[in-house]
Amino acid sequence: MKRYSLSRSERITKTSEFKSGLKDGAAYTGRSLKLKVAPNKYGISRIGVSLGRHHFKLAVQRNLLRRYLKEIFRLNKYNFSKGYDIIVIPRANCAGLKFSELNDEFIDMIKKSGIFKKA
């Protein structure tokens, strides 16, 4: 069952990596998500979620949204091209969305970026 796990190497954890991804990445904007997609040198696709306290006041909302986005990435990571950093920046209207709505929008954004392998 380890095949579907999300390892530490598949997450963007360093501030410098977030900054370089935000600076160099191509931006894709949707109704409630903004994605920055940048190539990396590691040969695997990684995810980073950037949530601001000014949009999501409660820690419960921030943590739930972060878990949802990481889970969506974990379930679909085999459909993404390898070697990309994906930074997800949720907008304020993202707080009340269900998992299925977030999943649909995330996949649509990935398809716009061109790194989704399956049609």
Average model confidence (pLDDT) across the chain = 89
Q: What is the DSSP letter of 81?
A: P
Distance (Å, rounded) from C-alpha 41 to C-alpha 8? Answer: 16
Q: Please check whether the domain covering 2-112 is classified as CATH 3.40.50.720.
A: no
Pair 94, 33: CB distance under 8 Å: yes
Residue 105 has a pLDDT of 93
Contacts of 119 (CB under 8 A, 6+ apart): none
Query: What integer is the mean pLDDT of 82-101?
Result: 91
Q: What is the pTM of this model?
A: 0.89
Q: Dump pLDDT digits (tens) for 3-49.
A: 667 888 899 989 998 998 889 889 999 999 999 999 999 999 999 99
Domain ranges in the chain are 2-112
Element (H, E) at 61: helix 59-76
